[in-house]
Structures are given as C-alpha cells and as structure tokens.
Structure 1
C-alpha cells in the first residue's frame, strides 16, 4: 500500500517530526488550550425537530399543527384517591393543580383537572347551575374518562400544557424538575409522564452518559494498557491523544455551528477507543524496534512502518462513520459528521503529540512485555498452522454461517415502544406503566383536516361519523384507540334547550372550557382536528398499522386528513431505521473497498479486505433477527460503524503481510511472520476496543447498551476474521506485490529484520 510511497519521503517526514518534536508538542498543547473555551460552549440539541430533516413531511405536519392549535406538549401528573369525587378531595385536587400551574414554563390558563371540569370557578352562573345536575356530572365524567379520570374512578390526572421553549422564562429541565418535586411531595405521591418528559429524560441520560461513560471507558482501557505494557509514559500518551482529540472535536463542532445529538454520548467512548487502538499499534512496534535501536532511530523506523497504515485506518474509519450521512434521521447524521471529524483529528493529534511524547525526557521510555505474551504468540502460531491445513473447512464454515445470518435479516424488527429505551427501574418507565394501566396511555396524537369557516350541521354530522368510526376501529389483535375527542363531543354536551345553533353552542363551550374550542378548531386557518390517545407500550408494527388505519378511515370523511403528533413522529422515527441499516452498511462497504483499493493499489485486495469485516457484521445483524433483538437508534449504526472500526485490523494485517512478501517470504511464511508481529498488536488493540465498548453497558439509555455489546461482539468477530479468514483468502488470490524500486524492497526487508 502506501508503504510503496518512496521510502525517502517517509524518511524525510520522520526526520522533520524528530527535529521539531518539541515545537509540535507545544503547538498541539497550545491549540488545545485555545480550543477549551469554545469546546465548553457545545450544546445538546433537545428539540424534537432535531430528529428529522427540515423538509420531512411528518415534521411539516407537526409544525402546522402547532401553529393552528398551539401544540400538544403536555405533561401529565396523576395519582390515585379512592374518594376523588368527594368535595374535599376535589378541592385538594384543585389546589394541587394550582401549584403545578404556577411552575415556570407552564401555561396556567390551559391546565385541566377533574376539579376544574366538574366545578369550573370562572364559568358563568347558568353554566355552574347546569353542571350541578347529576346527569350532567355523569356525562362529564364519561367525557373525561381516560383523560382526567381512570376507568377505576380512583385515578385522576392533571394535564399541564407547556409554553413554547422560546417563550418560557426557564429551561425545560427546570420546569420538569419542579413538577417532579411537587409530585413527589404530594400525598399520595404522583406520577409524571408525557412525550416531552420522555424526550427530555432521554437527553438527560445521554448527557449524563457522555461524562460517565467517557471516564469509565478511559479508566478501564488505561488499566488494560498498564497491565499490558507496564509503563506510566505509555499509559499517559494514549490518554493525552484522546483528551486532546475530544477538545478539538468539540471546539470544531461549536465553530461549525453543529450541536450534540441524542446519540452523542458515544463521542467520548469512541474517540477513546480509536485513539487507544492507534497508540497500541505504535507501542508494540516501538517496543520491537527498541530491542536493537536507539530512541531516534526506533521512532524513525516506527513512523516509516506505521504512518501509512495509521493514515488509512483513520480514513477508512471516517468513511464508516460518514456512511451514516445517508440516514434520514438528523441525530444519526450529526453523529456521523461528529465521529468522522473526531477520527481524522485522532490522526492529527497523533502526528503532533506522539513524537515529543515518545522522545522528550528519559523517564520510563520503553513499554515492557506482559508475562502472558509468550502464550499469545504460541496461540497465534497455532492459528497459522490450523488455517494453513484446513482452508476449505474455514471457507465452508464461514460461508455457512454467513448464509444463516443473512436469513436473519428478514426477521429484523424495529422498536417503537419508547419505554424500552430505558431501564425498568427508571422513574420514567414506572410512570408510563402507571398511565398505560390506569389512564389509557400517554400516546397523544391527532388527525387534522380542512374545515369550513362557519361550523354547520353538515360538517358536525361528518365529524360525528368520523368519531364513531374511530371509536369502533379495532385491529386484528384487538388494538384500538383509548380516547377520541372531537369538537362535536363538546357541542353535543350542551343541551338544545340552552343553545339551538352550533355558533351559540360554541360560545357557551368557550365560556365553560376556554381551551377546548381553540385546541380543536382554528376558524381563521380553516383547520380542525380530532385528538386521539393510544397505548405507548406497543410493538412497531402495531403502532404503524394503527396510524395508517386511522388516517385511511379519516380520509373517507375528510380527504386531506393527516395524522401527526409526537406519538406519530416517534413511531416513524424508529421505523426508518431498518432502511438506514442497509443503506449505511452498503455505502460503508463501498467506500472502504475503494479506499483499500487506493491504499494497496489492487482491486482484489480492496474486495478481499471486506470479507473478514463483513463476516462478523453479518453474524451480529443476522443474529439480531434470529434472537429478536430489535433495531433502535443505537443498533441502527452497528453495521457502518463496526466496519469502519474493524477494517483497521485488516489494514495493519495486509501491511505486515505485504512487507513479508516483499522480503521474499512465501505465503505460509508471510502469514507466520504477520501473526507473530502484527497479530500481537491486533490482539492488544482489539482487547482494548472490546473492553471500551462494553463500558456502554453501564448506560441508562438501552440503545447504547445494545450498541456497546453488539459492537464488542462484532469487533471480536472482526479480529477472528482477520486472523483466520483473511490468510485463507490471501492464499487463494495470487497477489504478489512488486516493490516500486529494488531499494524500497531492501529497506523494507531490513526494517523487518531489525524489528
């Protein structure tokens, strides 16, 4: 590959790095100091809009709804009281609702409770007298069922409407924290839920994990490195590379106007893993050269040997992350940009900081061998002999496993049950369980459509017919809507003796429930909606089928009907991940194959290098299908990210194999030498990678746990693919690279001999 770049160019660059190592180190540290301030300003984008592209039709429908009807960003607070309908308990409920309404960020005039519905204080005298009739009270209770009171007549809910974030005097986090404080202090304790709370908690977990998991992965990996190399200097060096890269990446994101997204807690862990893997290869190679060379010469030889491989590993890893730009989901795309940038900055920090970090000072200059290294080398030699004797068995076994795994692709499913993103012990899941079992769920959504400027009897009849159809709608598995609310429901509540025309009924309804009419009907825009509620804890296919069925039934009455709401946005957000999985994987594979072809100047090598990396990814993703592990926001990125990370093993392996062949070794001898030198570094690096990703299992956000565990499995499979499957492929493909010059071959052979 680029070992074929004339050696004198690499030699001259190595000499420059040696000569200016102090200046480069100072420049890198100074740049880091300058980047700290902008890096500290990096923000987390918590808006629901960050999940979608600007021109996405579902997002457009959601924004239209907010403009017409004020938005449905509600927080629900519920508790149980066996005697909730008693006068004194309704007054306690009214007082609790008043306290919640005074929380900054809440629109107090929009607060709804059973007390304000049964006994509105601001209503006119005729309305208050009308509400005292038992039949009126019973109709109101039924009308409020699954919204303000549960089917058990004990559970009651308070509905709080959030102000738009730009109008609120405090951040949403403070609003939710205060609501939860009041809920916890209430007797009995109340539960808090609602889609805005779910989204907020998701971001809070992501933000907490960004720090916690970064420190955990750094600590664990550095401990592993200390055990492997028993050198303080060689523990500090990877830590320095990682932390500098993180500061640079964060500063670059701020300067480019980008923000962190919900999957960004992986930034610290992934940069840590990439940086430590890079330095691990340097450490092993440096240690070998130091057996026979002084420090400057050992650095020069290490640079000449590894610089091309490190360059191409960073490029291919960036390509793997860049493939995520094909996603239709904004957080996934921003993650791809962020990690592609971070990977390339690992390359920059390595070249700036390592020369000085390795050569300045005389303290603890050389890493040491671990006692288990001898057994590792024996094991690698055994793998060499085994693959050489059984190439057909290796190939047949690999093809069989890949075929079985590919069949699992057709069994993949997506996850839209939002509660499955969090641990069962979290307060969010406990609240969701409470609302799902007692109040018909928290899945609020709507169908909106064009309505006449003046409500007449004909339009109300159409609306009643639609409401009846939606209430009777039931899927094959029994799933149905838990609540349907229309403007006609409110108007029908008012008896004909009180008002005969729809317009008069609208006027009385505004007096009785000021928020009801504008929340369902925008006369100026000529738009109306039907508000719906469904269970949140349902499989993806059920949710999407229900949404489609509601939309189809609505269009029978109103042809331009469109379903929208946070419930719909989150459902379609997850469903698009299945297509993203395939597209991003294909793009990553194509991009990496092209990069490998350029690197090694050989199309066959570009194609061969994909096989040991596609192999473990097929097994992991196919295994997800067979075992029922769902695709979520974390697992959607496994294919392209894993390929970008595992291919670096192939690059280093092929580079070592090429050097051995240029030195005159046959295939078997080249594999033996490569396993004994490069293979050792690959094992060390991949052990660090796997351990680093398993740290994600500590996350509070379930998609990150899946991501960490499954990528760890893929990384381990990639290591086996490169040590077992790649040698077999190289045996059958007659690739005998030619040195560009005789001098180049001589120098490469000499470097291997001295190493």
Structure 2
C-alpha cells in the first residue's frame, strides 16, 4: 500500500483489532441467517440466451400450440413386447403411474387409437377407435401399424418393436403458467423498447413472483421424479427401464449441483488444511487463513440467499473458487510476514504486521480488481447463467479481499511473535531452478515460447462449439443412458421446429399446398441428423392409408369433421392452427450422432426452404430448443474473442496505472496471454469444443494468472530501486514473492483438480484445463516475465556492480522448498 493508504489502514483496522473482528463476526452471523434461503436452479433457461429474439418468438409459438411438461420412460422387456404377460405388466405400471397425484396423463402403445389393425373406413371413425387391448384388434397387424405408422414409429415404439416409450404428462400449475405467460409478454416489450413505466413496475413484481413460483414448481417436479422412480424400481426386474424428459434432467442436474457444492467445498477445504500445514507448519498460519476462507464463503452464500440469487450448474463451483482465491491472498500475506520476520528480526509484532499489510495490500487489491475484471468480462457472453457466474464471482472476490485484510493482520497483531519455520535460501529450490533457467537459457526459452504460441494459434483455428448435450454427462448417469436410448431407438431428443405461414385461412387445407408441406416433411425426414419428424402430413398419410387414395379437398374436410376430439387433439392441433393458416413441423434431432454439426444443419434447412421450397424469409421460421441452444453455442464462440479482448484491454489500463509505465504494462501482458492461447489451442488440437463451462476458462485464467504478474513486477520495482541490478533483483524476487507464487499456484492447481470428481463433464474439463492454465501461468511468470524484464530493461539502466556484489549474486547457498 502507499504510505497514505497504509496509515489509513493502520488507523482504521490495525489500531482497532477487537472492534474490526467483532464487526466481521456480526456481518458473518447476519448473512449466515440467510444461508437456508440459498437456492439452486437447473432449468432449460441455462441453455438459452436471455435476450434472444428467437426465444421471444418461441414463447409466442408455445402460446398457440401449447407446451406440456412430461417425462419419457423407455421400457424394453425381456420377452415379446406384444405378449399378454408383458402387456399386463406394462398396463400395471401405467396404472400405478396414473395413480400419482401430479400425473395428468400417461400415453403408451396401450392407449393410442389403431386405424389399420384391421383397417377402418373413414366412416367408421365416428363409431370410435380401437386400442391395442381391444378384442377386435389383430396383435400382428397392430405391431406392424405401431412400428410403421407415421405417428407411432420411433415415437412410442422402436422400429424393431422391442422398446416402447411412455409419455407421462404432468399436471400444469395454472398460477405458474399465468405468471410465465405474463412475464414473457412484458419481457418481449422490454426488449422491443415499448414497455411503459407502469409495466416496468409490473415486470419487477411478476419476476419476483415467478422466481418464487419456479422454486415451488422445481420442488414439485423433484418430488414427482422421485415418486416415478419409486414405481419404476418395482418393474425393473423384468425389463430395462430408463427415465428421461426435461423435469428429470432438471431434478438430476440440481442433485449434481448440490453434490458438487458439497464435495468441492469440503474437498478444497481439506486440501487447504493439508497444504497450509505442510507449507507453514504453524497452527496460526493454518487456522487464521481458514477463518478468512470460511467467512468469505458463509457471507457469500448468505448474501445470495438474501437477494435470491440462485446458483446453477455453471456456478456450482463458486464456493471452491472463492476458497482457492481467498487462500491465495492469505498465502501472500503469510509469506510476506515470514520474509519480513527473517529480514528484520528487530521489528515488534505491531510493526511487523503493519509492514506486512503495507507490502502486500496494494498488489493484492489490484489482483482482486483484475480477477474481478476477468470474471466480470463473462457478461458479454449474453448467457444468463454464465453472466450470473461472472458477477457472482466478482462480488465474492471483493468479499474475499475485505475478509483477508479484515481478519488476518488484526489476528496476527493480537498473537505473539512466536517461532517460524524458515523457508531457506532460494538457490537449489524450484524457484531457484527457474531463476537459473531464465538467466542461463533465456534465449532458448524465448524460442520455445514462440514455437508454442504458433502451435497454439494453429490450434485456435480448430476450436469449435459443436458439442453434444449428451456428452455433458458421464455414461453411468441416468440422463446419458436415457438420452442415448431415446436417440437411437425412439427418434431423437432435442426438437427443431419449423413454423410455416400460409396466405390466409384454410391455406393449408388445399391439396396443392399440402403437397408443398409433404416436400418439406420428406426433406426433414431424409436428413441424417433427424430421427422422428411429425407434422400435419403425418396425419394425412395415415388418413390416406385408411382411405386408400390420395387426399382431396372433400375427403380432407370430411376427416376434419369426423375425427374424434381426442385423436384430433393428438394428431392435428399441435401441428396446424385452428384456421389452417399456420403450420408447425417438429423434427427431433439425434443428439448422440458424433457427426452432428448444429449450425451446418440450420444452414442446410434454410437453403432448402428458400431455394427448393420457394419460401421467402418472412414465410417460415426455425425455432425450438435446438435453435435456442444453437444460438447459445454460436454466442459462445463470438463472445470468447470479445471476452479476451475486453479483459486484456482492461488489464492493460490497470497495469499502466499500477506500474506507471506503458512499457512495463505491455511486458506484463505477455505471460498472461501465453497460458490463455496455450489452453485454447490445446482444446482445439484435442477437438474439445467450447461449452457453458469451458468458455469461462480464458477469463478466469487471465483474472487469476495476472495476480502473479502484479505481485512479481510490484516486488521487482521495489527491489530494483535498492540495487539497480536486474539479475540480482530477479533472484531476490524468485526467493521472496516467487515462493508465494509457487505456493498459491500449487494450491490453485490442486484445488481446481478436485473438480474432476463432478458428474458434469464440462466441470471436469473446466477443472483440468484451469489447472493446466495455472501451471503454465506460473512457469510463464517465473521464466518468460523475468526474461523480458532482463532483456528489455524497462526500469532503466543498471548500476555497475562491485566485484563483491557479483560474487554474492552467484554464491547463494543451496536449499530447497
């Protein structure tokens, strides 16, 4: 800290240690009261852009065609699916599921109407439709109809007739749906800029009510999923059963979040205890930093509960990150305390603590700011959970800084000096080895760095965002197994929808326009990326097979009148508007296809619709979760460049202010750019795409790695002023602040490695690559950075060294860390 800031800190903090510590305890207790209100969220909102125009269009389409919340159950019996015994067990399971209070309807092969088993005439439709267990149904014909029907095949049954699916529709929450619709309307007006002041206040109230209702909705769905699993467990002995669907994915992801928070938090905490014990071997340097860490996490969790700021899968590791970042600050304080204790043994405890705080307070403050900038840059992603994660961490880092300097120095001041374990001299240690490499192999080091940068840039050109949602989960999870079976045997998972506008009422009732619909439907069906395709044409194909001839206007009008309401609601209402002016086609995408290229598929469909179907851009629109998810992925790629650019620009400004030298600032940028490019380039070479988690690696790497640069250059400037010798200054810095950098890096690397215990694959990649980035950042800060300082001499010319000084530089006795 500067002299004025040091005096202010001494007067306000160190001079009143009991008052400050009591205040910290009261603040922690206050926010601790709100920790039970801390909530988790894992809805589909985490996979879409908050301000996406396609999202607003999708929401309007949902109002017209409806959207049910349902679970999918896959059922593969050991025997013949169509045998009496198997159908009896299936009927019993369906009955048990229907008995659950939250379940509205269960659709299965037992309940769907059969028109071709045997074939019915159009006139017979009015007399009622048979189902599978009716006596008049021929089971062999039913098997053929179900496995070949445009509606049922790959929807309710696999093409080989061995696996069937049950769709368990959950009862809607009328209050939640009303809030959701009103919220969507108001948000649409907000993004369009037409929201009045009254509506703005209403939106704030609706948002608040919606968040509360969504918590209740999620809790109900979690309980329903548990009840459904309890029923399924009773039938698993005779069949292979898997559960899928959005409510189940949400419930399981929330379980992942809870588990990750507990496992990562406890794992990192235990590791910190071990590492501090090994490094410092004094209880005070273990207990006091842990108090700061625990206080930071407690206050942040309470704060999030207080303001109803929910964690998601993306931010589930925020507690671990806060522990690691808080500990890294505390280690810098502890190492500086040890240095001063060794160098100036005559200082009393108050002077020693004051000098310690003055020595590391300002660089730690700038480190906190730059790390906050790194995390804060995630707001440009446009993805709400990523934005929340960045802002959440930015707030947490400031809390961590305040906690460390409000707890650690005051407690140290209240304790006696005691004895400390000397670290030993620098030569012979790892930091000494890196100093030797920098001094004696500096030119070779620059060549290696240049080669690695070229390789990294080439790898960047291979980086993509074409990831598969199924790959987010380990193969052992229910989500992965269920999605794979639905993908491969039951027509795909994520829906891509096409809305086609007609020219007025009954436009899609004419045979000519229905022929155009058939071309579009057939095109989608022939795509290798699609599984099941459903549209009005599916119903028409069934009617044509019953009628035995192509559909004409008269027969089509008769079918529309004669179809039972229940059947019409299933085969027509979801795919055409009441006045037949708007069509909806739904193509389910095979997510497990390793060759799936999301944007290429979207471009292919656009080309067909415009060039071959002859539709203008205002006559059709692609929508659905596939489109929204793809928009999010494309945003990841665009925002990555923006994020990196904005972070480096902000850090360059801060470096220039801190070091008061543009030359030093530019030198400081280099070792921070190096790990980012190397990590992203490595991901490109390994064909690991960017996703919701890995997009954050660059910003986090810059934010945390820049701490090394700040501490090293800040110390380098101070030491150089004393001896005006670059090599001597480098060795002094390696022996001093270099040790703190080494200790903090080990802590960060091992801490992030614990994330590999997650069930969420992006979190595992996040932990591995962030650990790798921290290792590269340490090596770059301890070799490349000092080499650039030695080479470019940004602090001015050296003072000619005396012979005794040269001998002292090269004769430091060996020791080890």
Provide TM-score, normalisation by structure 1. 0.89
> Aligned-pair distance for 1:441?
2.5
Whole-Å separation in 2 of the counterparts to 1:137 and 1:455: 35
RMSD: 2.9
Whole-Å separation in 1 of the counterparts to 2:510 and 2:268: 61
Q: Does 1:98 align with 2:95?
A: yes
Q: Does 1:625 align with 2:684?
A: yes
Whole-Å separation in 2 of the counterparts to 1:575 and 1:467: 31
Structure 2 equivalent of residue 128 of structure 1: 130
Task: Pick which of 346-355 and 275-284 moved more.
Answer: 346-355
Structure 1 equivalent of residue 239 of structure 2: 188
Query: Does structure 1 retain, via aligned residues, the 8 Å contact 2:508–2:580?
Result: no
Query: Does structure 2 retain, via aligned residues, the 8 Å contact 1:323–1:588?
Result: yes
Whole-Å separation in 2 of the counterparts to 1:544 and 1:306: 49
Structure 2 equivalent of residue 719 of structure 1: 778
Counterparts in 2 of 1:10-409, with a 5 A limit? 10-71=6-67, 73-81=69-77, 82-87=79-84, 89-108=86-105, 111-118=106-113, 125-128=127-130, 132=136, 138-143=144-149, 144-164=152-172, 166=176, 171-186=220-235, 187-291=238-342, 292=345, 293-362=347-416, 367-369=420-422, 378-409=429-460
Q: Does 1:682 align with 2:741?
A: yes
> Aligned-pair distance for 1:11?
3.3
Whole-Å separation in 2 of the counterparts to 1:571 and 1:539: 16
Structure 2 SS opposite 1:190: strand
> Aligned-pair distance for 1:501?
4.2
> Aligned-pair distance for 1:265?
1.2
Structure 1 equivalent of residue 635 of structure 2: 576
Query: Does structure 2 retain, via aligned residues, the 8 Å contact 1:94–1:113?
Result: no
Structure 2 equivalent of residue 489 of structure 1: 538
Are the structure 2 counterparts of residues 725 and 89 from structure 1 closer, same or farther at C-alpha, using a change threshold of 3 Å?
Answer: same
Structure 2 equivalent of residue 662 of structure 1: 721
Whole-Å separation in 2 of the counterparts to 1:600 and 1:520: 64
Query: Does structure 1 retain, via aligned residues, the 8 Å contact 2:456–2:682?
Result: yes
Match of 2:499 among 448, 459, 468: 448
Structure 2 SS opposite 1:80: strand
Query: Does structure 2 retain, via aligned residues, the 8 Å contact 1:45–1:260?
Result: yes
Whole-Å separation in 2 of the counterparts to 1:297 and 1:129: 88
Structure 2 SS opposite 1:533: strand
Task: Pick which of 429-438 and 308-317 moved more.
Answer: 429-438
Query: Does structure 2 retain, via aligned residues, the 8 Å contact 1:273–1:688?
Result: yes
> Aligned-pair distance for 1:117?
1.1
> Aligned-pair distance for 1:643?
0.6
> Aligned-pair distance for 1:361?
4.4
Query: Does structure 1 retain, via aligned residues, the 8 Å contact 2:48–2:631?
Result: no
> Aligned-pair distance for 1:244?
1.5
Whole-Å separation in 2 of the counterparts to 1:652 and 1:453: 69
Task: Pick which of 595-604 and 460-469 moved more.
Answer: 460-469
Query: Does structure 1 retain, via aligned residues, the 8 Å contact 2:295–2:403?
Result: yes
Structure 2 equivalent of residue 744 of structure 1: none
> Aligned-pair distance for 1:681?
1.1
Query: Does structure 1 retain, via aligned residues, the 8 Å contact 2:37–2:308?
Result: no
> Aligned-pair distance for 1:14?
2.1
Query: Does structure 1 retain, via aligned residues, the 8 Å contact 2:126–2:564?
Result: no
> Aligned-pair distance for 1:317?
0.5
> Aligned-pair distance for 1:394?
1.9
Task: Pick which of 620-629 and 482-491 moved more.
Answer: 482-491
Task: Pick which of 164-173 and 60-69 moved more.
Answer: 164-173
Whole-Å separation in 1 of the counterparts to 2:643 and 2:510: 48
Structure 1 equivalent of residue 755 of structure 2: 696
Whole-Å separation in 2 of the counterparts to 1:365 and 1:629: 51
Are the structure 2 counterparts of residues 182 and 564 from structure 1 closer, same or farther at C-alpha, using a change threshold of 3 Å?
Answer: farther
Query: Does structure 2 retain, via aligned residues, the 8 Å contact 1:36–1:251?
Result: yes
Gapped regions of structure 1 (runs ≥ 5): 739-755
Whole-Å separation in 1 of the counterparts to 2:752 and 2:729: 32
Whole-Å separation in 2 of the counterparts to 1:342 and 1:697: 23
Are the structure 2 counterparts of residues 140 and 679 from structure 1 closer, same or farther at C-alpha, using a change threshold of 3 Å?
Answer: closer
Are the structure 2 counterparts of residues 714 and 105 from structure 1 closer, same or farther at C-alpha, using a change threshold of 3 Å?
Answer: same
Query: CA offsets per residue over residues 666-707 of structure 1, 9 Å max, x none?
Result: 111111111111111111111111111111111111111111
> Aligned-pair distance for 1:15?
4.2
Are the structure 2 counterparts of residues 509 and 575 from structure 1 closer, same or farther at C-alpha, using a change threshold of 3 Å?
Answer: farther
Match of 1:517 among 545, 568, 572: 572
Whole-Å separation in 1 of the counterparts to 2:557 and 2:660: 78
Task: Pick which of 462-471 and 704-713 moved more.
Answer: 462-471
Structure 2 equivalent of residue 745 of structure 1: none
Structure 2 SS opposite 1:515: helix
Query: Does structure 1 retain, via aligned residues, the 8 Å contact 2:111–2:131?
Result: no
> Aligned-pair distance for 1:199?
4.4
Structure 2 equivalent of residue 749 of structure 1: none
Query: Does structure 2 retain, via aligned residues, the 8 Å contact 1:460–1:488?
Result: no
Equivalenced residue count is: 725
Task: Pick which of 254-263 and 618-627 moved more.
Answer: 254-263
Are the structure 2 counterparts of residues 503 and 368 from structure 1 closer, same or farther at C-alpha, using a change threshold of 3 Å?
Answer: farther
Whole-Å separation in 2 of the counterparts to 1:526 and 1:360: 79
> Aligned-pair distance for 1:147?
0.6
Task: Pick which of 671-680 and 565-574 moved more.
Answer: 565-574
Structure 1 equivalent of residue 701 of structure 2: 642
Query: Does structure 1 retain, via aligned residues, the 8 Å contact 2:256–2:313?
Result: no
Structure 2 SS opposite 1:107: strand
Query: Does structure 2 retain, via aligned residues, the 8 Å contact 1:689–1:712?
Result: yes
Gapped regions of structure 2 (runs ≥ 5): 116-124, 178-215, 798-817
> Aligned-pair distance for 1:583?
1.6
Query: Does structure 1 retain, via aligned residues, the 8 Å contact 2:426–2:735?
Result: no
Structure 2 SS opposite 1:308: helix
> Aligned-pair distance for 1:180?
2.2
Structure 1 equivalent of residue 200 of structure 2: none
Structure 1 SS opposite 2:496: strand
Provide TM-score, normalisation by structure 2. 0.83
Structure 2 equivalent of residue 545 of structure 1: 600
Structure 2 equivalent of residue 747 of structure 1: none
Whole-Å separation in 2 of the counterparts to 1:289 and 1:275: 22
Structure 1 equivalent of residue 807 of structure 2: none
> Aligned-pair distance for 1:304?
1.1
